[in-house]
């Protein structure tokens, strides 16, 4: 069912994306199945635009892939001789301009961590390179049992730069992250769950139902409490116990004020 459009609407289809907004739930679908949802610069810019223009009442964002795979990562066509990658980043490119350009691409991923929404990656098939990083950018990963993750960038002479290194290290720690990235090996669903890379593993044909069940549970919780709790939890690793205790008090006072103010 088509959802409400957003300012980011025009251009989404050309960028290989589909956005369906149904009340508090937005579903962002990588929609280039014939290319295994390989991602282009245009797609990442469009994802950033979706983040900027998402209706304020959206509380959950589901990110999924159409066809047999979640995403085969960056569109390798961009690295073909004379392709967009070479044009932008060859030796003569201005480093400051290149830095700004990559920051713009990263924006397509970082908004998924903002407190007002809970982002859920619904992953099946391959999630390679940028596809793995996109799954890592989400708060929660629900994966089908045919999922395989691979951080392929180093094998191609690159680093993972779409904001995936921080969540990867947060989840598996530096030694395991090093082992995964520097061997570029494939991690199957069972191991992914064991490493904490997936919160829910489901048979392939149960993925949509598992995501729906999770979304219903997330929506059943008070919206303000959800946003405040997400803020607290994501900031916890950076803080001392005292700082976190102070942050809990601050958030709780806000919650209590709002709860009492809403009483008849």
Buried-state track 137-146, b at ≥16 Cβ within 10 A, e below 16: bbbbbbbbbb
Record the tokens describing residue 253, joined without a space: 């006072």
Nearest to 233 by CA among 123, 141, 118, 62: 118
Q: What is the dihedral of CA 160, 134, 230, 221, to 10 degrees?
A: -170
6, 28, 31, 36: residue in contact with ligand ACO (rule CB under 6 A)? 36
H or E element in which residue 53 lies: helix 41-53
35, 113, 185, 255: residue in contact with ligand ACO (rule CB under 6 A)? 35
| 149 beta partners | 127, 187
- How many other CB atoms are found less than 10 A from the CB of residue 162? 25
Report the site for ligand ACO in 68-127 (rule: CB under 6 A): 68-69, 72-77, 126
Contact 47, 17 (CB under 8 A): yes
Nearer to ligand ACO, 59 or 124 (CB): 124
Record the tokens describing residue 66, joined without a space: 């159409």
Query: Residue 134 Cβ, how far from ligand ACO at the closest point, in Å?
Result: 9
51, 108, 129, 167: residue in contact with ligand ACO (rule CB under 6 A)? 129
Query: Residue 264 Cβ, how far from ligand ACO at the closest point, in Å?
Result: 54
Nearer to ligand ACO, 139 or 153 (CB): 153
Residue whose C-beta lies closest to ligand ACO? 129
* Per-residue contact flags (x/-) with ligand ACO for residues 166 to 205, judged by CB under 6 A: ----------------------------------------
The DSSP code for 40 is: -
19, 25, 50, 153: residue in contact with ligand ACO (rule CB under 6 A)? 153
Residues engaged in binding ligand ACO (CB under 6 A): 35-36, 38, 68-69, 72-77, 126, 128-130, 152-153, 156, 158
């Amino acid at each position: 069912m088509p959802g409400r459009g957003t300012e980011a609407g025009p251009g989404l289809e050309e960028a290989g994306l589909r956005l369906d907004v149904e009340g508090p739930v937005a579903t962002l679908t990588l929609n280039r199945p014939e290319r295994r949802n390989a991602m282009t610069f245009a797609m990442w810019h469009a994802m950033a635009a979706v983040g900027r223009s998402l209706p304020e009442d959206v509380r959950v964002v589901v990110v999924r892939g159409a066809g047999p795979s979640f995403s085969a990562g960056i569109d390798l066509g961009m690295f073909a001789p004379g392709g967009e990658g070479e044009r932008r980043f060859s030796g003569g490119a201005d480093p400051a301009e290149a830095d700004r350009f990559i920051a713009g691409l990263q924006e397509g991923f970082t908004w998924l961590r903002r407190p007002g929404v809970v982002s859920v990656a619904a992953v099946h098939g391959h999630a390679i390179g940028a596809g793995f990083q996109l799954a890592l950018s989400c708060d929660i990963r629900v994966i089908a049992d045919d999922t395989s993750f691979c951080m392929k960038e180093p094998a191609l002479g690159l680093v993972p730069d779409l904001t995936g290194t921080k969540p990867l290290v947060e989840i598996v720690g530096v030694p395991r992250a090093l082992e995964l990235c520097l061997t570029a090996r494939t991690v199957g669903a069972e191991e992914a769950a064991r490493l904490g890379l997936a919160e829910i593993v489901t048979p392939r044909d149960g993925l949509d139902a598992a995501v729906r069940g999770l979304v219903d549970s997330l929506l059943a919780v008070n919206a303000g409490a959800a946003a405040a709790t997400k803020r607290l939890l994501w900031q916890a690793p950076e803080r001392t116990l005292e700082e976190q205790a102070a942050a809990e008090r601050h958030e709780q006072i806000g919650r209590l004020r709002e709860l009492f103010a809403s009483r008849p």
